[in-house]
Structure 1
Amino acid sequence: MKKSFLPLLLAFILVLSGCVNTKSKVGNEEKSNEGNKSANTSKPAIEILGMSTSEDDMNIVRDQLIKNGFDVKLNIQPDYGSFTAQKDAGNFDLALSSWTTVTGNPDYAVRALFKTGGDNSIMSDEEVDKLIDQAATETPDQFTGTYKKFEDRLVFDKAYIVPLYNSFKAQGVNKDIVNADTVRLAKSRAVAWETIDFNDQSKRDKDPLIVQQAIGTLTSLDPIKGNDGSINTLNTNMYVRLVNLTDDDVVTSDGSLSLNHSIADGNSDYYFLLRDDINFAKINDKKAVDSGERVGADDVVFSLNRAKDKDSVPDHRTYSLHEHIKDAEVVTDLSQLDSVKQSGGNGTIREALENGLDAKIKELVADKNDANNKEGKYQVVKVTTTEPFPQVLNYLAHQSAGIVSKKQVESINTYDVASFDPAKDIPYGDQNTVTEGDQYNNHLYASGPYILSYKNDYEAVFYKNPAYMKGTNFEPRISQVTVRFIENPDSSLSALRNGEIYLFNGVPETKYDLVEGDGKLVLQKNKSNAVSYLLFNTSNREVAKSEDLRKAVLYSINQEEFINFYQGNKMKASSTVSPLVQTGNELVADSAKVKEYLAKYQDSKK
């Protein structure tokens, strides 16, 4: 996504004879990782890495580079599966990449991708780091100028990436079976299953809702151990969070663990009033049952503390999203809510948390089992940030901030993190424990509307959490959701049109007309936070060493050609923050600049 379009950095790989090759072979030619000079010409050689599903984009980039004096090789791979190994081996000059800001805030659009040490970053630039951290402390009316400086540095001054376009978000719905009005298409967050309903409501407990996703190998069902297209939607529906995002990226308590939330004056303390009508679900005999354990403040504190601690689990992939959390604690002193003012000075925290409640706050309790909202007994959690950081709320809406069971996770994760052995240690959320076969031993505890029962190579089966907000508007409508693993978009569209799936999130722009022309389907379309771009190799190629060479590539790219190819269903982008912050920057193709920078590069090689 991630989130969403998947909050996701795509770099792609070449696997030969079952292992990573430290040399790249394209067509009948071979060149080493150090080679940027073709054996047959003085033109700089550029190798572009991508998947077959992105071959159209690769061809457009190739043609534009060739026209501007480059010798281009395409390294087209059939799937996503092993991209990390090839990327780590450095077998590319440019990797066709994509990112979706699934939290609706610009910090997420840059921190993991471009900050030194970021979860998905392969670059290091002190000025970029400084600007990212500065913007994080600022409010929207302040950070526009800072993000402009960031974008200037990232793209136009140093040419670390080449922006291609901003995408729309579209999904096809079988309106003959599913009530399309109940299907949300949010700008950022993943598809929420709990609101979806059949036209014939008598089917709720008899028929599954059948949806699709491309990737069947799941990174982890522990929400902090993955942030990619394999699990973003699944974990979003399996774990409740302190807050959510509306379809237009506004932070809300609706449908979350919080009845209300409020920011304290100073923008460093955040208060959350918890609801008491969610229990964890577990799996018995492949069916969802109520575990009898309430989701409460101790689980929230445990979940957030492990989310921010990079050493809490092996292979922690989301800690940088939560590094601004200094502390999470249970508030039991009611007078604190009366003495602390809301941000901006408009009343007390207590007044904000009591807004719209049927029963006002009479008592704050430490034990989750003592909470009784109808009697005015509540739990409150306070989150404190390392510095003023309003964007923390967007991160708390991300799937990686999903609330897990303290009791259950601690009972599973008994290994020593420092000496973790994947050959014998089984961590919470390991996909093998939910995969049919000898290793199946489902230990999941789900705080969200659905829980994964089992999966295989073909599909994953989820069941409704029987103890999730019962009797409210957020209780799941449909009892079973089946997720079919269909990697190819054309195959997914065919399955939608044939009635094999009822919802296809991610309809390609070139296929909109097929959905719109099918009488039983409806196309839902919205602007998205998804940006496609070219990522330069920053370690072992000439493009890593030469800023001039990178800028020559940058100014070879004409975004209008992508927009025309996609029949107007793409938008211009200057970086991954383009859908979120209007910086005023624009990449304009300039052949004169290409010649200038190529000449400088060639002179430096003499």
Structure 2
Amino acid sequence: MLKKIFLPVLLVFVLVISGCVKTKSEVEEGTKPGNDGKGDQSKVTIELLGMSTNESDLNIVRDQLVKNGFDVKLNMQPDYGSFKSQQDAGNYDIAMTGWTTVTGNPDYAVRSLFKTGGDYSVISDPELDKLIDQAGTETPEEYEATYKAFEEHLVFNKAYIVPLYSSYKTQAVNKDVLNLDSVRLSKSRSLPWEYIEFNYTSKNATDPLVLSQSASTLTSLDPIKGNDGSINIINTNMNVRLVNLTDDDQITSEGSLSLNHSIAEGNSEYYFLLRDDINFAKVEGKNAVDSGERVGSDDVIFTLNRAKDKDSVPDHRTYTLHEHIKNAEVVTDLASLETIKQSGSDATVKEMLEEGLDTKISALVDDKTDANNKEGKYQVIKVTTTEPFPQVLNYLAHQSAGIVSKKQVESINTFDVASFDVNKDIPYGDQNTVTEGSQYNNTLYASGPYILTSKNDYEAAFKKNPGYMKGTENEPKISNVTMRFIKDPDSTLAALRNNEIHMFYAVPETKYDIIENDSKLSLQSMESNAVSYLSFNPENREVSESEDLRKAILYTINQDDFISFYKGNKLKAFSTVSTLVKTGNELNADLAKAKEYLAKYKETK
């Protein structure tokens, strides 16, 4: 059955309409299909919620439903805040929703969304729970069949969602300004800023790299307290992680806090060899300075323990991503690493951790200040999972696993979490502390290549971390980054063409032709892990209870219309896992089935 939980969106939640938010009583009064006092009372009325940025998609869905005998009330809101207010008030039957699997693994594509109690789940179904947990313990060769069964139950059997399409990931680059070869496009990972450089490298130290995003209100700069488009790319570039994703979603230690990592036999123990050349940056006088504090094992253990603990901070939004972490500890017994085998290999964990090192491991140290990689003195972190769970590495590559300073966070978060008072307690990462004005008091410590120094309603300023991998290929090339807040895609495109910004991240399909016809711009594109779908209201609506009504809507939707509208720049999807696991499942519009299920629904009324 569907259950109620509010759905703050990861990447793109879509739908809406202007107007006042109704009260709960007013919502309940109008929940019955056809009970809006308008239109043909013999038809079923469906209220479609979305945002104006997805107006074209909403119109396609509306037209398809109308052609199949529904009345449609379009509830289109101007921004996400208004959309969320309508959603919380229950003013919809179906809402256009989007999800991007930024970790590159299928478990992330389903656990938060469809598991009972998931961060964004509106569903409570034991069969789905069982299949999600089963697939999480399986290898890619094994989990294909499990995810196929999961999808069939989610869509065909219960019609909990209506898939629309998957998208391409794109970005437009001013190649007259930026070195195009230095700008990466990754399927899942957010854009890493540290590799980007200007064509004229002399500008790297003086000119800011100017980027843009639509959201000016940042959920939180504490990486575990937000998982949405306002902070994902920001927190990714402010906090280093134990591992990263390659551009094609493979796990790598490159550019991470680990020189190497290893999975022990049994897939429940994971080892990470830490590098010793990253210090936390802090802000003084709106400039980034080296705090003098090294990023080490105590920070990693503190970070992972709070990441998995729902009660470690008020409004923790990512704990389900890390619930498989049982323990994180520092290893000091070097001999133990010589007896443990790497999973699927005859090599030992020690041999895997030493691969490619200039200096082999001669000693393991507990105190991060004692580490000296050039002398062979290293720190090793061991992460143990609650059960065999290889996909834990993908979650450790997520921005919510960004390493924070134990010392700094504990000095800020002195409040009692259970009695946290939003009116007086100021948690670590509160955006008000970095916003220019009377409340400005920047207490951030950044373990990543950049730190946010200040922001206002129009832009945010970032400075290079002076203590980040100095002298390596991962040291940031550009010293200053400016993030402009531009809500409208047309305005963003105009700013790019006028040299006011240097990149346009997530270019709408309707703008491709303009980019491709501008000689100074380059459009980078690849298939993404972003999927758009319709989500049903979890309560107080007929769609909440009637499987037949949901299936009537399911078989009405024709994905080919979206692909045609976007000139082939969308792809068919079956669920949020479609871009990661090829199950062979496909949804085809079937008006005969749609009418059959609609008739069954009407018979029960």
Q: TM-score, normalising length from structure 1?
A: 0.96
1:10 is matched with: 13
Tell me the equivalent position of 1:407.
Answer: 407
- Asked if 1:58 is matched to 2:52, the reply is no
| Structure 1 counterpart of 2:87 | 87
Unmatched tracts of structure 1, length 5 or more: 1-5
User: What SS does the aligned partner of 1:256 have?
Assistant: coil
Cα deviation digits, residues 204-262 of structure 1 (max 9, x gap): 11110000111110000000000000000000000000000000000000000000000
Name 2:102's counterpart in structure 1.
102
> Is contact 2:555-2:594 (8 Å) kept?
yes
Q: Which residue of 2 aligns with 1:578?
A: 578
Aligned pair count?
595
Equivalent residue for 2:30, pick from 18, 32, 52 = 32
How far, CA to CA, are the matches of 2:571 and 2:14 in structure 1?
Answer: 22
RMSD: 1.4
Is residue 109–residue 577 contact of structure 2 (8 Å, CA) maintained in 1?
A: yes
1:1-50 CA-to-partner distances (Å, cap 9, x unmatched) read xxxxx943615566755x6644789xxxx972344545432111101101
Q: Secondary structure at the match of 1:534?
A: strand
Find out whether 1:298 has 2:298 as its counterpart: yes
CA–CA distance in structure 1, aligned partners of residues 522 and 588 of structure 2: 36
1:256 corresponding residue in structure 2: 256
Match of 1:284 in 2: 284
Contact 2:34 2:42 in 1 (8 A): no
**Aligned-partner Cα distance in 1 for 2:393–2:22:** 40
Partner secondary structure for residue 529 of structure 1: strand
2-side partners of 1:198 and 1:11: how far apart? 35
SS state at 2:338 partner = helix
Question: C-alpha separation between the residues in 1 aligned to 2:112 and 2:88?
Answer: 17
Amino acid at match of 1:238: M
Tell me which amino acid in the other structure corresponds to 1:589: A
Of 176-185 and 83-92, more deviation after overlay is shown by: 83-92
Do the aligned residues in 2 keep the contact of 1:12 with 1:86 (CA within 8 Å)?
A: no
Whole-Å separation in 2 of the counterparts to 1:203 and 1:520: 19
Q: Provide the C-alpha distance between the structure 2 equivalents of 1:157 and 1:506, rounded to a whole number of angstroms.
A: 34
Cα distance in 1 for residues equivalent to 2:306 and 2:368 = 20
Equivalent position SS for 1:384: strand
Give the distance between the partners of 1:20 and 1:375, measured in 2 at CA. Answer: 67
Give the direction of change, closer, same or farther, for the CA distance of 1:566–1:463 in structure 2 (3 Å limit): same
- SS of alignment partner, residue 310 of structure 1: coil
After superposition, give the CA deviation of every residue in 1:142-189 in whole Å (9 maximum; x if it has no partner): 000000011001111100100000100110000111111100010001
SS, match of residue 518 in structure 1: coil
Identity of aligned residues (%): 71
> 2:14, 2:268 → 1: CA distance?
36
SS of residue paired to 1:59: helix
Instruction: Report the counterpart of residue 389 of structure 1 in structure 2.
Output: 389
Distance 1:388 1:447 in 2: 29
Report how far residue 83 of structure 1 moved. 3.3
CA contact (8 A) 1:15 1:86 kept: no
Q: Tell me, yes or no, if the aligned pair for 1:543 and 1:549 is still in contact at 8 Å.
A: yes
Look up the match of 2:536. Answer: 536
Report whether the alignment pairs 1:120 with 2:123: no
Q: Residue type matched to 1:55 in 2? A: E
Distance 1:23 1:510, change over 3 A: farther
Residue deviations 1:106-158, cap 9 Å, x none? Answer: 00001111111111111211111111111000010000000001100111110
- Using the alignment, how far apart are the partners of 2:41 and 2:99 within structure 1? 35
Residue number in structure 1 paired with 2:478: 478
Q: Where does the alignment leave 5 or more consecutive residues of structure 2 unmatched?
A: 1-8
Match of 1:230 in 2: 230
Task: Confirm or deny that 1:310 pairs with 2:313.
Answer: no
Q: Which residue of 2 aligns with 1:176?
A: 176
Over 3 Å counting, the alpha-carbon distance change for 1:479 and 1:188 in structure 2 is: same
**Hey, what does 1:137 align to over in structure 2?**
137
Distance in 1, Cα, partners of 2:280 & 2:26: 49
Residues 187 and 526, structure 1, Cα contact 8 Å, conserved in 2: yes
CA–CA distance in structure 2, aligned partners of residues 367 and 99 of structure 1: 41
User: Secondary structure in 1 aligned to 2:556?
Assistant: coil
Is the contact between residue 253 and residue 260 of structure 1 (CA under 8 Å) also seen in structure 2?
Answer: yes
Q: Check the 8 A contact 1:14/1:21 in 2, yes or no.
A: no
Are the counterparts in 1 of residues 15 and 52 from structure 2 also a CA contact under 8 Å? no
**1:299-344 deviation line (CA, Å, top 9, x unaligned):** 0000000000000000000000000000000000111111111101
* Deviation, structure 1 residue 86: 2.6
Deviation at 1:538, TM superposition (A): 1.5
- The residue type equivalent to 2:30 in the other structure is S
Residue 560 (structure 2) pairs with residue 557 (structure 1): no
Alpha-carbon distance in structure 2 between the residues aligned to 1:195 and 1:372 = 26
| Whole-angstrom distance in 1 between the partners of 2:590 and 2:25 | 33
- Offset from partner CA, 1:465-519 (integer Å, 9 cap, x none): 0010001110000001000011111111111111111011111111111000001
1:352 is the counterpart of 2:352: yes
Distance in structure 2 (CA, Å) of the matches to 1:15 and 1:242: 44
- 1:88 deviates by 2.3
Between 249-258 and 81-90, the greater mean CA deviation after superposition = 81-90
* Distance of aligned partners of 1:41 and 1:432 in 2 relative to their CA distance in 1, 3 Å threshold: same
- Residue matched to 1:3: none
AA matched with 1:45: T
Cα distance in 2 for partners of 1:429, 1:394 equals: 24
**Whole-angstrom CA distance in 1 between matches of 2:26 and 2:399:** 36
* Counterpart Cα distance in 2 of 1:601 and 1:140: 39
What whole-Å deviation, never above 9, does each CA across 1:437-469 have from its counterpart, x for those lacking one? 110000000000000000000000000000100
Q: Which string of whole-angstrom CA distances, capped at 9 and with x for unpartnered residues, describes residues 252-297 of structure 1?
A: 0000000000000000000000000000000000000000000000
Alignment of 1:193 onto 2:190: no
Deviations 1:338-357 (A, max 9, x none): 11111013210000000000
